[in-house]
Structure 1
Amino acid sequence: MRKLTYSIPKSFNWVGILLGISLLTTIGSTFPARSAERLQVSLDILQRTISVNSLEAYAKRGVVNNDLAPYVRSVNPQQQALLRRILLKRLEVRPIAISQFFNTPQAAILLRRLGQVVQTESGEVGSQAIQQALISAANDPEGITLLNVLRKFPATGVRIDLTRGLQLADDLSRVIEQSNKAVAAVNQQATTLVTNQTLAQIATLPNLRQSGTFTTNKQTIQLRDLRRNRSFKADIYLPISDNTNQQSTAAPVIVISHGVGSDRETFAYLAQHLASFGLAVAVLEHPGSNAQQLQNLFVGKAEEVAQPYEFINRPLDVKFLLNELERLSQTDMLYRGRLNTQQVGVIGQSFGAYTALALAGADINFNSLQKDCAAINSTWNLSLLLQCRALVLPNYNYDLQDYRVKAAIAINPISSSIFGKDGLDNINIPVAIVAGSADTVAPALPEQIAPFTWLNDPKKYLLIINNGTHFSTLGDSPSSVPLPSSVVGPNPALARDYMKVFGVAFFKFYIADRPEYKAYLTPSYIRNLSQEPLPLSLVRSLTETELQLALDRPSPALIISPNRD
């Protein structure tokens, strides 16, 4: 019979709680699991052993054996039910995907961290054993459940170091608390600014959720950059109008850049909507970090979800696309005179948002990367796993800015270390940063709220989608990996509507030079647009000092900044 080993606290009332925390920490980071017979929980010098058979009997049949009884008696029925669900919850993932993921640098970092908590019975770091257990469980008919992973653990016992586990849990609690304070501060400031427009004034504004008056002609072009030996496609959405005056005017160009694992279909909904308002939209596909790259990773044809040189290639893709559109607008009958490639806006999500900010003028900051990535094993910011891969690049002053880009929207950007304060300081065009308060991939505080305070140009916006996740604004795509609704978050259709409205207003005002759209870019209008379960907040100003005051106070502080509406 195999077993698991824990260190437990002296206070008996905490035993069950700590057991739950250790299991939650384990299942939340990755999953531990030849067939371990016992689980040993250790806290300092205290230890307690539970057989895996006892955990199985409890999870599947509710039977409480003697070795488990002290834990079960110390927690309430709700916590008991949660523990049983955790033990049996199945992670739906293909065995090949698990095997290939472990070949990536990101997996190595996660395994090292988890191995500090989940160890062999002798106390050795359990990274390699965890990896073997996960692969074995993935190939088992029962699949990856916590119980099955424990059975597959290649040792007679699994030791969980609660001292280290609780330290990680405390670290995570502080991160969550700080993030909640920051989001609350932005929400409160936005509330103080909802005074400049009356509901009657807002009611007179046209509804930007509805399509505009232009029809759309979609064309797909193939691009080949011989200098970089790189081929990719782009979908071009041309606005068509019955009005001859409108038709004869060259339309400003909006470029959309997708995130890792997505493709040019992900934001087709947004491209069509923007084109219906008279904007020409180009949605390109980045071959080194798209859905196909993720599929290649799962079948062993790729080593990473995105190679480090994608930090350079992505902005260069957009530059090459704009050069090609400029050529087509002069030589091709379909595009001649219809594209204003000197008046360009860029919108991107996640890695695409990095791309947008780089084109807007942000510089890769190797000093920031070296400092932050030295502590990669202790961070809860998963986006650093990708950002730190840029350290593989030669330390060079890359010229990624494109001066044709006059405004940018960055949705869920990764920016804290790849750019840092000094890198973002170089942006001098209008920028809007969109954050989701429930984003666990690129957390709002380090990746969007703090970087917003580093932007110096006064024409900046911070839009918070409360309860929004990293995936809330993504549209459907047949090529992308499907995500469970619990990961996507509530009502993604509403989040997409928000992006339609904000995207039209922002680019019509800053790119198409239509001053009447400024009325949509105010805290008052955004609050009126806001709906549950994804309420919105918009601010135009937040300083580093104001943010730090909010984080230092025991409860969210009321921040009042000059109204720049």
Structure 2
Amino acid sequence: MRKFKRLKVALCAIGGWMSLSVVSRPVWGAERVFLTYGILERSISVSSLEAYARTGTLDSDLYVYSQYVTPEQLQTLRKALLTRADLTPIAVSQFLYTQQGEILLRRLGQIIQPDSRDTGFFAIRAALILASADPEGLTALNVLRKFPTRGLRVDLQRSLDIAGELGNLINQTNRATQTIAQLSNTETTPLPGGAIPDLSVRGAYGFQKEALRLVDRSRGFVQALGRERVFPVDVYLPVARRQPLSASIPVVVISHGLGSDRGTFRYLAEHLASHGFAVAVPEHPGSNAKQLQALVGGTVNEVTSPSEFIDRPLDIKYLLDELERRANTDSRYQRLNIKQVGLLGQSFGGYTVMALAGAPINFQQLQRSCQPAEIDRTLNLSLLLQCRAGALPPISYNLSDSRVKAIIAINPITSSVFGQAAIAQIETPTMIITGNADTVAPALPEQIQPFTWLKAPERYLALIDRGTHFSALQEGDAQGVPLPPEVIGEAPNVARRYVNALGLAFFQTYLANRSDYRPYLSAAYARTLSQDPLRLNLVQSLTVAQLNGE
């Protein structure tokens, strides 16, 4: 029994060390880390951790724990202690004083505490800021050396509770992935005879890119003092080369995610334009890369304003109005069919296009989901953004647009800002693209389960195995917050290939009325596209009973 307890404490210690990769320390600095599990408590000196991190030497403090882990796990610990996050103290400080930053600090403060056993909220914030200002930078080891008390306590019971919750979510997501793969593999719809086309390659048309600057002066009810909304738009117009253009050119609008810009889907805009689509890519000024730069620079104090949940759809409405005006005065725009528009959005952009397709903001769901107790224990980071919408006046906003005839939502945020009642109101053909390795907007609560709520008769769910929240993005035009390769994930070029092929098949079918493309919206075609390391599956229906294994 004693041996079992020692093993349990040692395993808990490894979990505690993982927690340290998100902390820091100041003033005199922590000398010992106390690992508590109920009434049991063990400690290890920070100097022992530092010696091992820098030289690989295991002293007597660390040796007792090393007996219960593999050499690979020890090397992971060593790397975690010294891995540097390339963030400035201004960037760290600005984020930690936002509402989202304070929510994360409260969550960490339940696990990591000063020796007084009070919440670690303030100590963690101070340690993170001071560590990022140190020449060595923001590393887990430097965080320990900047922690403002001599002792630092890690509550392993709470750590294991959170790890258990995370494990349950991962297991549920894996089961959902298996279910979707099985359903996809059982589909027997044949592809047309002959050579199977690769819809991810460029088409026969050239394109011209035009930069517009739009000024909407009608936003008084959302923005203080009736300020105007100024935003840039890139328009990609197809140009005839080997074949003539259609008399009615279909239009697609792309909405970027939080902290991105209109360059992150440039590859898709060029691809669709080469196949005869006109593509407009607006930049949403309150939630783009410049907004995050302003947060880092100290000129704004929030990641995004609640009004952005209204402004983003209104940006696209205003853009469509502008394209209609230009169609009456500019010969280059005369062929554009603004009465049948397709939308594609990623993350916050996924919310945007679903709102325009008819899903209203669900204030009752937000009230239920955004209780402090719910937020403090959530593993869903996107909830921190969705709950910002709860600060809006709870009125009915007219965000839908009848010109929208088909939408694609990539990694959309949906569970609380919409919920089941709102998503069920979408009637247009809809495709949701998700990745089961998304740690920002987790696939199961944000995309897979919401797909089961759709009532639209034409609906598709494409699942990219091992796809992340950032797999489908390319580097944008503005310099945003740098993301390490581990966060972006493997082979983003493969994910972008899927988006090109599925996006073309979807919009040809539902905007250009090309029925010959419908067979490529199938599990059979997804199998022809699928390649390692990101396997692709596609289904057209999924029920809650199937997700539950019934």
Q: Same fold (TM over 0.5)?
A: yes
1:280 matched to 2:278? The reply is yes
| Contact 2:436-2:443 within 8 A present in 1 as well | yes
Whether the aligned pair in 1 keeps the contact of 2:24 and 2:131 (CA below 8 Å) is no
The farther-off stretch of 411-420 and 57-66 is 57-66
- Note if contact 2:24-2:141 (Cα within 8 Å) is conserved in structure 1: no
How has the CA–CA distance of structure 1 residues 241 and 485 changed in structure 2, closer, same or farther, with 3 Å as cutoff? same
The alpha-carbon distance between structure 1 residues 213 and 14, as it changes in their structure 2 partners (threshold 3 A), is: same
Q: CA deviation at 1:248?
A: 6.1
- C-alpha deviation, 1:372, in angstroms: 1.4
**TM-superposed deviation, 1:85:** 1.8
Secondary structure, in 3 states, of the residue corresponding to 1:11? helix
- Alpha-carbon contact 2:432-2:462 (below 8 Å) kept: yes
Q: CA deviation at 1:369?
A: 1.1
Report what 1:33 is aligned to: 25
Q: Structure 2: which 5+ runs fail to align?
A: 220-227
1:87 equivalenced with 2:85 (yes/no): no
In the TM superposition, 1:314-329 aligns within 5 A as: 314-329=312-327
Give the structure 1 partner of residue 430 of structure 2.
431
What is the TM-score normalised by the length of structure 1?
A: 0.92
**Distance in 2 between residues matched to 1:547 and 1:41, nearest whole Å:** 38
Q: Partner of 2:169: helix, strand, or coil? A: helix
Does 1:15 pair with 2:9? Answer: yes
Query: Does structure 2 retain, via aligned residues, the 8 Å contact 1:117–1:164?
Result: yes
Deviations 1:102-132 (A, max 9, x none): 1211110100010011001011111100010
User: Conserved in 2, the CA contact under 8 Å of 1:26 and 1:114?
Assistant: no
User: In the TM superposition, what is the alpha-carbon distance from 1:371 to its structure 2 partner?
Assistant: 1.1
Q: Give 3-state SS (helix, strand or coil) of 1:439's partner.
A: coil
Runs of 4+ in 1 over 4 A off after TM superposition: none
**Which 5+ residue runs of structure 1 have no aligned equivalent?**
1-7, 551-565
TM-score (norm 2): 0.95
Q: Deviations over 1:338-396 (max 9, x none)?
A: 21100100000010111010011111111111111220111101110100111110111
Structure 2 CA distance for aligned equivalents of residues 480 and 462 of structure 1: 32
Structure 1 contact 253–279 (Cα < 8 Å) conserved: yes
Matched letter for residue 207 of structure 1: D
How many angstroms apart in 2 are the aligned matches of 1:422 and 1:441?
A: 23
Q: Which residue of 1 aligns with 2:138?
A: 144
Q: CA deviation at 1:22?
A: 1.2
Q: How many residues align?
A: 536
Please, which of 301, 304, 311 is the counterpart of residue 302 of structure 2? 304
Instruction: Give the residue type in structure 2 aligned to 1:392.
Output: A
Hey, what does 1:545 align to over in structure 2? 545
C-alpha distance in 1 between matches for 2:270 and 2:91? 34
Which position in structure 2 is the counterpart of 1:113?
107
Give the alignment of 1:162-561 within 5 angstroms.
162-193=156-187, 195-197=188-190, 201=192, 204-228=195-219, 229-242=228-241, 246-247=244-245, 249-335=247-333, 337-374=334-371, 375-481=374-480, 482-549=482-549
Q: Say whether 1:54 aligns with 2:48.
A: yes
Deviation at 1:213, TM superposition (A): 1.3
Shift of 1:75: 2.0
* Residue of structure 1 equivalent to 2:225: none
Q: 2: distance between equivalents of 1:192 and 1:10?
A: 46
Q: CA deviation at 1:203?
A: 5.0
SS at match of 1:500: helix
Q: Is the 8 A contact 2:206 2:241 kept in 1?
A: no
Q: Residue 186 of structure 1 aligns to which amino acid in structure 2?
A: I
Q: Cα RMSD over matched residues? A: 1.6
Q: Distance in 2 between matches of 1:363 and 1:9?
A: 57
Work out the percentage of aligned pairs sharing the same amino acid. Answer: 51
Among 57, 60, 63, the alignment partner of 2:57 is: 63
CA distance in 1, matches of 2:146, 2:194: 62
2: CA distance between counterparts of 1:382 and 1:438?
13
Once residues 117 and 61 of structure 1 are traced to their aligned partners in structure 2, the CA distance between those partners, rounded to angstroms, is 29
Judge conservation of contact 2:205–2:242 (CA < 8 Å) in 1.
Answer: no
Moved more, 391-400 or 313-322: 391-400
- Find the residue that maps to 1:91 and give its secondary structure: coil
- Deviation at 1:202? 6.1
